[in-house]
Chain A
Amino acid sequence: MNSFANTPHSKPLETDRRMVKVSARDVCVRYGDKLALKHVDLDMECNQVTALIGPSGCGKSTFLRCINRMNDLIEGASVSGSLMLDGQDIYDRELDPVLLRARVGMVFQKPNPFPKSIYENVAYGPRIHGMANTRDELDEIVMTSLEKAGLLAEVKDRLEESGTGLSGGQQQRLCIARAIAVSPEVILMDEPCSALDPIATAKVEELIDELRQNFTIVIVTHSMQQAARVSQKTAFFHLGELIEVGETEEMFTTPRHSLTQGYITGRFG
């Protein structure tokens, strides 16, 4: 698709499950004068789900937005430190953030389907990136994306209806399908289930687990159970600092830091 994607490192090695996909070193984010994220070091690995947890306002979303440079769109926000995607600097001057965002997709807290048909919602990304040359190829992409997002069965007969007419859970899966359709390598999810009921949440969690086969996933969540269920690695943030990071199981059974322990046992936050 672009030269950036064709660097020697860009193909994740299926064999090496521990390969680092995104690595953050000494990342600080400022909103104006306010330091919102302080010296964060964090590695996110291929084919793993990394969960970001922490009390409200601790900088989880801020960190997530660094990875696809959505912070660029916020007036007054500035990022320092280094963020690497497959060993390449995300904040390189030469790098086009538009191309980066095709490689690093994002799913938002509130389902935000475009006020277009279901089909057009999914076809939107492939169209703007010129990924399909014919209508058949586009159909193919749309169908497989909907399939992967577990939505195809429900919307097969109503692809021309508006995406905003779906239920909240379906809308969120539509947004996931929309993100998958541009075949990103990393998918960022900012509290993807916070607007959903338990059944829809279970479906999305199941989906996340499946998507792990093909994508690197970073998810922000306020639910400890969700973090425990879907993630392999968990990072705990507090007041803009990364307090503790580790294997999810370890983290939830034997947290090292007292703040982490307090948070996951529900003593604050």
Chain B
Amino acid sequence: MQLLPLVIALLVLTSIGYYLGRGRALTMAGGSSRNLHSLPGYYGFYVALWCGIPAFLVLAAWLAFEPTLVRALVMNSLPPSAQALPEGELRLLMNEVRQFAGGRSYGREPSEIVIAAAEYYTSLKTTGFAALIVFSLSLAVAGLAWGRKRIHQQLRARVSVERAVKVFLIISSTIAVFTTIGIVMSLLFESIRFFQAVPPMEFLFGLNWSPQTAIRADQVGSSGAFGAVPLFAGTLLISLIAMTVAVPVGLFSAIYMAEYAPSRVRAVVKPLLEVLAGIPTVVYGFFAALTVAPFLRDSGSVLGLSVASESALAAGLVMGIMIIPFISSLSDDVITSVPHSLRQGSYGLGATKSETIRQVVIPAALPGIVGGVLLAASRAIGETMIVVMAAGLAANLTANPFEAVTTVTVQIVTLLVGDQEFDSPKTLAAFALGLVLFCVTLVLNVVALHVVRKYREKYD
């Protein structure tokens, strides 16, 4: 499709509109912008908006509805025998038509029906697109002329342009909000379907997780148990290990960075720490699986401990490393934003540096630090890649960090990867898990943001 040239043509027209509008406003004002209500540029934007917006709206509408429309028309043109086919086969047929029209073979000789339909399809497409070109371009030109005609000295172009900008911004944020709502809705509806098959109580409090349901009725040994407690426990265990690593290391390095490090060291170390945050989680994942886990297993066997080769400890440790920069940079921010006058007051009383930090700076920064830790915790709970690669799949209900455990995120991945039907409880369970995960992290984030905001109010 030749969409790109069309878009470029429209953009060119729009910018021509800008210059025409601006020039006209200036001519009308006799060359001096002081005779105009708004700055000349606003008249330019005014015309450009008139020129561009209707044309692009038409383009967007065409993009949205053209495929459905064409499909419906083609379907109507099919002979009644084909129209009477069952839903699935009809879909296959339409696919074949599209493929054939696109010049690709579908692996078998196309039938008469397909060839005829494909021809019709192609002609519809071409005429439709030609109509689009003509219509949108003429709309752009008409808009340009109309906007240009409306320009006069008293036209409040600035007000109109500002209003257009505002509407544009509102639309953008609405899109974001509706996407979120859409995601939550789909999560919710699929979960409800899951809970029709498995009672919520059994899901939330059951101690046994083995989601292998039978694919065929005659299959044996796969009853399917959806007690999610082992997953929650595994998530909790790994997150706890991660936080045990990340909170002290992150906090102490933040304190060093904010209070002790000379500015030269700080300029080097801070970006280096933040590099940790830029490492893709897959890389952490195979670091955990290939380096940390074998190391733990080997050193465990030297000490006479049995450490599974996929252990909660390995995943938790590496996840902790991943979260360090999170905690350290958030804490660093709040520590440095503790007013200098408080430190001075403390030094002035004869407190040493560490006394000042312990008794004045950290307590003053504590709400912010707690907020940062909570944000990091929600990050840990939702983290997937590391645990998929290093924590294992066995849904053990254990508090022993040397054993393999599994987490909510890992199970979501394994439930959805595979070739089960999409409406079996096994797949739907993923949505229910996702919903739980979403609720937990949402609560953590809300609490964290609230705590952080409350702290902010205190000093600014």
Contact = CB atoms under 8 A, between A and B. Distances in A.
Interface residues on B, range: 10 to 19
B352 interface: yes
6 contacts: A102-B350, A106-B344, A113-B345, A128-B349, A178-B345, A182-B349
Contact of B458 (A108, A115, A182): A115
Interface stretch (B65-73, B121-129, B249-257, B358-366): B358-366
A125 interface: yes
B352 to A, nearest CB: 5
B347 interface: yes
B274 interface: no
Contacts of B359: 124, 128
B349 A112 contact: no
B342 A114 contact: yes
A128 B355 contact: yes
Given A112-B339, A115-B364, A128 B344 contact: no
A116 interface: yes
Interface string B327-357: 0000000000001011011111111100100
Contact of A179 (B347, B348, B352, B355): B348
A115 B346 CA distance: 12
Interface residues of A, number: 27
B244 to A, nearest CB: 28
Contacts of B352: 98, 128
B350 A114 contact: no
A-B CB proximity, top 7 nearest: A102-B350, A106-B348, A112-B341, A101-B350, A125-B349, A112-B345, A115-B364
Contacts of A114: 342, 345-346, 360, 363-364
Contacts of A98: 350-352
A128 B350 contact: yes
Interface of B: 263, 339, 341-342, 344-352, 355, 359-360, 363-364, 458
A175 interface: yes
A110 interface: yes
A129 B350 contact: yes
Contact of A102 (B349, B363, B458): B349
B351 A105 contact: no
A68 B351 CA distance: 12
A110 B163 CA distance: 45
| A70, A100, A114, most chain B CB atoms within 10 A | A114
Given A108-B341, A124-B349, A128-B355, 11 more contacts: A70-B347, A75-B263, A108-B344, A112-B339, A112-B342, A115-B364, A116-B363, A124-B346, A125-B351, A164-B458, A175-B345
Interface in A55-113: 68, 70, 73, 75, 98-102, 105-106, 108, 110, 112-113
Contacts of A182: 349-350
Contacts of A75: 263
Nearest to B356: A128
Contacts of B458: 115, 164
Interface in A212-257: none
Contacts of A112: 339, 341-342, 344-345
Contacts of A116: 363
A70 B345 contact: no
A70 B348 contact: yes
B445 to A, nearest CB: 25
A227 B268 CA distance: 48
Contacts of B341: 108, 110, 112
A176 to B, nearest CB: 12
Nearest to B361: A114
A184 to B, nearest CB: 9
